[in-house]
Amino acid sequence: MNTKQDIADWLDEHQIRFTTMSDEIWDNPEKQFQEFKASKLQADFLEKEGFTITWDLGGISTAFVAEWGEGKPVIAFAGEYDALPGLSQKDQNTPDPLEADGWGHGCGHNLLGTGCLAAAVAFKEWLQATDNTATVRYYGCPAEEGGSGKVYMGRDGSFDDLDATFNWHPGYVNVPMKGSLLGTRRYKFVFTGKTSHAAADPHSGRSALDAVELMNVGVNYLREHVTDDVRIHYVIRDGGLAANVVPDYASSDYVIRAHDPRNLEDVVRRVLLVAQGAAMMTETEVEAQVLGGTASVLSNEVLADLQYDIMEELGGIDFTDEEQTYAKQVNEYFGDGNKRMLIGLFGVNPTTANQALIGGVYPAQDKGKVFPASSDMGDMSWYAPCSMLNTATWATRVPGHSWGVVATGKMSIGHKGMMFAAKVMALSAIELIQSPEKLQAAKAEFEEALKETPYICPIPEDIQPPQYEHPLR
């Protein structure tokens, strides 16, 4: 275990341990803040590997950190394991839910978390074999999908002493990330009015549903007067129980996104004004409840370049003809919308973009660009130099958060991408120990970025995460 190749070989030899864990999490998808089976499975595994486990980070029962070693540097691997609603799917290449409206790993978090865990264990094995000094941590992070789990963990001080952080995300292409994601604010708007008989006594009613609808209209007009990076979307949660009863209660959930934190705060201010205006027009009351929020991602170019060099050395992923055929069959259910993104954002040539799976390695093409998605990894990226790697685990035409992602999450396609990511992250951590000047360069870049734009925690101190007792601990 003295060389980088030894680490890559070790991960190959122990692959079944990690793919089995990933598959078990795939088999048991869990909602945000309630990832009881996944968190216990991972914590027990790491404890047997010699890690010390600390639970309840950020006041969340399914958040933990596993630590091994001592001293500096402190290198972190951030895993996730929450699933998404409505994405239940059988382990096959045609759409067919296991459970109607059930949960499924439509963002690949069964792979994401396990891949980071595998990298942490491999890095620990190398440290132990070579007598190098460092602290390795694996963070089990709940509620990435809109729950802002890492925001609460960071606000609680869990990331304060980190020197570097590694994370990856399942995707279409093997590529490091130099761009960013959008920051978010999430609100629930609750309108309260007066109920009445809708036909016999309509003048006495004050419709909370009218207020919800007027707010939606106002926000639709607001969309014309915001910057191009802004995204605002919503769902109506409650709209009344019967058409002949004026509803005295209605609510909607909003997600507001923008890249620049100052712009995001201003758009939030304007959305809150629209809600107040809707309440005034309908003589109802409105309460804006904070559901969560995340920061934009602060990518570290030094770490991204380091990971690209390692990916090139490893040589990418060799997908078989059978895997290409499987992915092609999944692709048949989706259009060609992703092709433009593969070419423009990831630098894939048009011929390769036609493939069902892309196993090659590509340099980062997204410097200065903002991808219109969000993650609470954004918040963790403001505590220490951070790199978010992408590796190929999805068929090329499959949109994120779809059954097509679930369809490759419990088979060789997903397994290969996960193990490739684990190798890249583990070897990157080793490189920071062997070449401390690279870690210093990454930290210098990070500190310079903080001078220009300090971190703003997106969730007020008085807002706490949902509380669930962990039944398996």
Q: Which of 147, 161, 189, 170 is nearest to 62 (CA)?
A: 147
Do 173 and 262 lie in one domain? The reply is no
Residue 310 within a domain: yes
Do 155 and 21 lie in one domain? The reply is yes
Three-state DSSP class for residue 48: helix
Do 319 and 433 lie in one domain? The reply is yes
The amino acid at residue 359 is G
Residue 417 structural domain: 4-180+296-452
Total domains in the chain come to 2
Do 13 and 159 lie in one domain? The reply is yes
CB neighbour burial string for 344-367, b if at least 16 within 10 angstroms, e if fewer: ebbebeeebbebbbbbbbbbbbbe
Pair of tokens at residue 251: 């609510």
Residue 421 within a domain: yes
> For residues 258 and 236, what is the distance between their CA atoms, to the nearest angstrom?
22
pLDDT in tens, the chain (473 residues): 778 889 999 999 999 999 999 999 999 999 999 999 999 999 999 999 999 999 999 999 999 999 999 999 999 999 999 999 999 999 999 999 999 999 999 999 999 999 999 999 999 999 999 999 999 999 999 999 989 999 999 999 999 999 999 999 999 999 999 999 999 999 999 999 999 999 999 999 999 999 999 999 999 999 999 999 999 999 999 999 999 999 999 999 999 999 999 999 999 999 999 999 999 999 999 999 999 999 999 999 999 999 999 999 999 999 999 999 999 999 999 998 889 899 988 989 999 999 999 999 999 999 999 998 999 999 999 999 999 999 999 999 999 999 999 999 999 999 999 999 999 999 999 999 999 999 999 999 999 999 988 898 999 999 999 999 999 99
Do 20 and 158 lie in one domain? The reply is yes
CATH number assigned to the domain comprising residue 123: 3.40.630.10
Q: Which of 113, 128, 127, 150 is nearest to 29 (CA)?
A: 113
Do 28 and 125 lie in one domain? The reply is yes
Q: Which helix (H) or strand (E) holds 453?
A: none
Predicted local confidence at residue 428, as pLDDT: 98
> For residues 191 and 401, what is the distance between their CA atoms, to the nearest angstrom?
30
Do 107 and 237 lie in one domain? The reply is no
Residue 465 within a domain: no
User: Is this prediction's pTM over 0.85?
Assistant: yes
| CA torsion angle 149 154 159 165 (round to 10) | 50
